[in-house]
């Protein structure tokens, strides 16, 4: 069984490029960027992405089919994440989610759900664009 801390070769390559990016990266964009490192085909990228998401190292922005590195160390535990997405400049920012997490998990309890994680995407205009 793979340990959380020891990433495999492909996982390291994929995580590295996501961490270095200033914006969410799409799977095929990652693929084209890692061809020189010997990753040739989609499944290699998607497998690494899946595992990294499972570990909480990255998050998927569902509305964009794109991936960002986790900014909050606590996501390692909850895997829950919240983002603000600017509809003008496309900037995506991960929101420090400890308060939201508390609120939302209590909400999930209230509706009778055994809560595991959530994905929250805010759309609007960021500070700069509004």
Partner DNA sequence: CTCTATAATGTTATATTATTACATAGTGTT
Partner DNA sequence: AACACTATGTAATAATATAACATTATAGAG
Among 5, 22, 43, 112, binds DNA (CB under 7 A): 43
Give me the least distance between CB of 21 and DNA, in Å please: 15
Helical (H) or strand (E) element with 26:
strand 25-26
Under rule CB under 8 A, residue 53 binds a second copy: no
Contact set for a second copy, span 73-112 (CB under 8 A): 84, 86-87, 95, 99-100, 103-104, 107-108, 111-112
With b meaning 16 or more CB within 10 Å and e meaning fewer, what string describes 94-130? Answer: beebeeebeebbeeeeeeeeeeeebeeeeeeebeeee
Q: Which is nearer to DNA, 53 or 108 (CB)?
A: 53
Give me the least distance between CB of 99 and DNA, in Å please: 29
Among 35, 42, 89, 99, binds DNA (CB under 7 A): 42
Under rule CB under 7 A, residue 97 binds DNA: no
CB of 59 within 8 A of CB of 81?
yes
The per-residue DSSP string of 50-96 comes to HHHHHHTSEEEETTTTEEEE---TTHHHH--EEEEEETTT--EEEPP
Please report, as ranges, the residues that interact with DNA according to CB under 7 A: 1-2, 8-11, 26-29, 38-44, 46-48, 50-51, 65
């Amino acid at each position: 069984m793979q340990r959380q801390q020891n990433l495999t070769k492909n996982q390291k390559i994929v995580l590295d490029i996501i961490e270095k990016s200033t914006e969410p990266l799409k799977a095929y964009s990652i693929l084209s960027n890692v061809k020189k490192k010997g990753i040739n085909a989609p499944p290699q990228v998607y497998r690494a992405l899946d595992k990294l998401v499972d570990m909480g190292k990255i998050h998927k922005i569902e509305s964009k089919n794109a991936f960002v590195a986790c900014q909050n160390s606590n996501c390692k535990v909850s895997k829950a994440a919240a983002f603000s997405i600017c509809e003008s400049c496309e900037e995506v920012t991960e929101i420090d989610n400890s308060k939201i997490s508390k609120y939302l998990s209590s909400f999930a309890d209230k509706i009778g759900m055994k809560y595991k994680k959530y994905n929250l995407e805010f759309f609007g205009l960021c500070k700069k664009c509004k």
